[in-house]
Amino acid sequence: MLFDTVTILRDLIAFATVSTDSNLEMIGYLARRLEAAGARVEVMQDPTGAKANLWATLGPQTDGGIVLSGHTDVVPVEGQPWTSDPFTLTERDGRLFGRGSCDMKGFIAACLTAAPYLAKRITDRPLHFAFTHDEETGCIGAGHLIAALRDRDTRPALAIIGEPTEMRIIEGHKGCYEYSTEFTGLAGHGSSPDSGVNAVEYATRYIARLLALREQLKARTPLGSRFQPPWTTINVGSLHGGVAHNVIADHAHVEWEMRPVVTADADFVKADLAGFTTDLLLPAMRAVDPGTGIVTTTIGEVAGLEPMQANAARDLVADLTGANGADVVPFGTEAGLFQSLGIDVVVCGPGSIEQAHKADEFLELHQLQACLDMLSRLGDRL
């Protein structure tokens, strides 16, 4: 099975499914493979028609199924010092190099290899495959998929998200909320700062508020939080604005994110910023020019995965892998979206997150074999 999986992974890496580009060719490849294994396949295109999710089912169309899920998109390679073609699988020293090898086409390749075997083992409950688009840019595809699944009469019982965890069981992670805030000011000569509205200055006041909130969030750390750090974090990713030393900046752009431990923290931050903007910043700006403004755009609000005392997915994967215990991680996945369906979810897949998004991304062969072993044992539970 390992040789076949590497062959499939070579095909998958050759699809340059960077999030800015279409994933339809890869989705077509996955559909053909799963149909050949006997699955009922649905290709769900996004509103643009350039991207799609794939939902495939082996076995009966009933409640109680198991979902194996992964995303098809990868991050860009521009500017990274790769030592081999990132979209050609390169094998050396027991490692498989290529963009997406661990994040997360290795897991998808293992699922395709295992599908014909799993199809023969299924009896009374279905096995679903969910392969999504645009996870790297805000879990957009998974959001569409979950919305579609909510409208169905049948629901799966649990899901395994195959993100790279070195085959460790992950039962919780923080959410990931990303925003862009635009400041529109009034340009003027730098010698007369009071005659204009300096968008950069107001952006820095907004950033100062974010940093103050970051400190306040430490005092809201939930009792017994297992995350590192245990509180909700805020990060300011970039500030752009202005054109010259002697010109009042009429535009500024701030990109920032927060990673909430609990949804209440996100609500707290958003409510505070709304009041700060409406009651303090905007009145000061519009006292000079009513055409000024502040607009925040939500790039993505991806729910966290909440650790649950009872979790059938965790118990199943522990049985399949022999793992003792489960961990939490700071990075985000699509798991929280699946949990919002009311099903049990864990994250467990081959490879290390330390290799993801970097030049010379790789997946170790022994990790891929461990994933195949897990899926083989899953067949015994079907």
Tens digits of residue pLDDT in 69-122: 999 999 999 999 999 999 999 999 999 999 999 999 999 999 999 999 999 999
Q: Residue 94 has what pLDDT?
A: 97
Q: What is the CATH topology of the domain spanning 2-171+305-381?
A: Aminopeptidase (3.40.630)
Q: Residue 293 has what pLDDT?
A: 98
- 135 counts as catalytic: yes
Please provide the size of the chain in residues: 382
Average pLDDT rounded to a whole number, residues 248-263: 96
Q: 176-184 and 293-302 as β-strands: parallel, antiparallel, unpaired?
A: antiparallel
Strand order in the sheet with 327-329: 40-45, 52-58, 127-132, 66-71, 158-161, 344-347, 170-173, 327-329
Q: Residue 330 has what pLDDT?
A: 80
Question: pTM here?
Answer: 0.87
Q: Residue 124 has what pLDDT?
A: 87
Band (pLDDT 50/70/90 cuts) for residue 303 is confident
pLDDT score of 359 more than 90: yes
Are 307 and 172 in contact, with CB atoms under 8 Å apart?
Answer: yes
Tens digits of residue pLDDT in 46-82: 999 999 999 999 999 999 999 999 999 999 999 999 9
pLDDT score of 258 more than 90: yes
> Strand ranges (DSSP E) for the chain?
40-45, 52-58, 66-71, 90-92, 95-97, 127-132, 158-161, 170-173, 176-184, 188-189, 233-241, 247-248, 251-259, 293-302, 327-329, 344-347, 362-364
pLDDT score of 284 more than 90: yes
Strand order in the sheet with 90-92: 90-92, 95-97, 362-364
> What is the per-residue burial (b if ≥16 Cβ within 10 Å, else e) of 117-135?
ebbebbeebbbbbbbbbbb
How does the average pLDDT of the chain come out, rounded?
A: 96
pLDDT score of 380 more than 90: no
For helices 199-218 and 263-276, the axis angle rounded to 10 degrees is 150
- Say how far apart CA 1 and CA 7 lie, in whole Å: 10
pLDDT score of 300 more than 90: no
3-class secondary structure, 7: helix
Nearest C-alpha neighbor of 176 from the set 268, 266, 306, 274: 266
Is 176-302 CATH 3.10.129.10? no
Q: Residue 308 has what pLDDT?
A: 92
- 163 counts as catalytic: no
What does the CA dihedral 365, 369, 374, 380 come to, rounded to 10 degrees?
160
Average pLDDT rounded to a whole number, residues 336-347: 96
Are 300 and 195 in contact, with CB atoms under 8 Å apart?
Answer: no
pLDDT score of 123 more than 90: no
Band (pLDDT 50/70/90 cuts) for residue 381 is confident
Q: Residue 331 has what pLDDT?
A: 84
Band (pLDDT 50/70/90 cuts) for residue 302 is confident
Locate the domains of the chain by residue range.
2-171+305-381, 176-302
Average pLDDT rounded to a whole number, residues 265-291: 98
Q: Residue 17 has what pLDDT?
A: 98
Tens digits of residue pLDDT in 132-174: 999 998 899 999 999 999 999 999 999 999 999 999 999 999 9
Say which of 103, 135, 178, 334 is annotated catalytic: 135
